[in-house]
Amino acid sequence: MRTGATRAVMIDVGPADGHPAQCLERHGITTLDAVILTHFHADHVGGLAEVLRASDAPVAVLGTWVMEGAQESEGLKGRGAAASSRSRGEQGALGSVQAALEQPRASLGALAPGQRLVIGEVTIEVLWPRRVMTEGSVQNNASLVLDVSAPAYHALMLGDCEREAQAAVIEQVRQSARRRAFDLVKVAHHGSSNQNERLYEAAAARQAVIGVGAGNDYGHPTKKTLELLARHNARVWRTDTQGDVDALATGGSISLQAQR
């Protein structure tokens, strides 16, 4: 989220081989005001060291306060060897975050529900997590759910939260949507089928972005989730088929552009 001509806040940094610095360079970003890690799974935090090196100033790194499941793979435990063999992205990666933070210019803090960050014209309100959930993946359901607003847009960022955590924030999202319609929702968990339809109904966002790897063996995004978004009249943008998706502020609104 751009906070100035060459400044931004980054939410999640992708895996270690995701080349996030190239994304920053393409957008002319040289300074990061903050990096927010929604949860500590490798596919969301692995690129942190690269991102910190790319910033020309010290970076505040902020993350979920929930540490359970952050150190080892827990997302698919108990679901069989076949499922476990596909869980590389679900591996807890707090260790790699701590290693990246050994750089003297970085610090780590935790975000809690009710906190509000105002950086330039961007306001970020933390809606979740309010408690630890043991249903499903502990770390996925510990994902920061963020209500982000700027003059040109209002966005809902869902991390990888699953249906249990999604259910817990429905009323907050509904109230926020009443105050100002959501322009954009970052679909939870790469478009998996583990969604709460009432949350998307409450958000009623006109645009839905699914960050998902091409050819992934999870089958994401699922047909069920794509149909859910269609029922609520959201235009879907997918990074697996469309490449990077840019949301461009133009006056008082945003327009989305696919890079492929």
Give the whole-angstrom CA distance, residue 155 versus residue 186: 8
**Cβ pair 257, 209 in contact under 8 A:** no
Give the C-alpha separation, 149 to 3, whole Å: 12
Q: What is the DSSP letter of 222?
A: P
Q: Which two tokens stand for residue 183?
A: 């322009």
Residues in the chain: 260
pLDDT digits (tens, 9 = 90+) for 13-26: 999 999 999 999 99
Distance CA(65)–CA(115), nearest Å, equals 12
31-37 and 7-11 beta bridge pairing? parallel
Q: Do strands 153-157 and 184-186 pair parallel, antiparallel, or not at all (unpaired)?
A: parallel
Alpha-carbon distance 244 to 110, whole Å? 28
Tens digits of per-residue pLDDT, 170-219? 999 999 999 999 999 999 999 999 999 999 999 999 999 999 999 999 99
pTM of structure: 0.91
Which helix (DSSP H) or strand (DSSP E) does residue 242 occupy? helix 239-242
Pick from 69, 60, 247: nearest CA to 157: 247
**Which residues have C-beta within 8 Å of that of residue 227, sequence separation ≥ 6?**
none
CA–CA separation, 243 and 118 (whole Å): 30
| pLDDT at residue 83, rounded to an integer | 38
Amino acid at residue number 8:
A
Listed in sequence order, the residues at least 6 apart from 134 whose beta carbon sits closer than 8 Å to its beta carbon are none
The closest alpha carbon to 220, from 205, 207, 236, 235, belongs to 236
Alpha helices by DSSP H, the chain: 20-26, 42-45, 48-54, 81-84, 94-100, 138-141, 163-168, 170-179, 197-203, 223-231, 239-242
Helix, strand counts (H, E) of the chain: 11, 13
Query: For the segment 66-124, what is each residue's pLDDT rounded down to a tens digit?
Result: 998 887 554 443 333 333 334 556 788 988 898 998 866 667 899 999 999 999 999 99
DSSP E strands in 88-131: the ranges are 106-111, 116-119, 122-128
Percent of the chain with pLDDT over 70: 92
Q: Where are the domains of the chain?
A: 1-111, 151-260
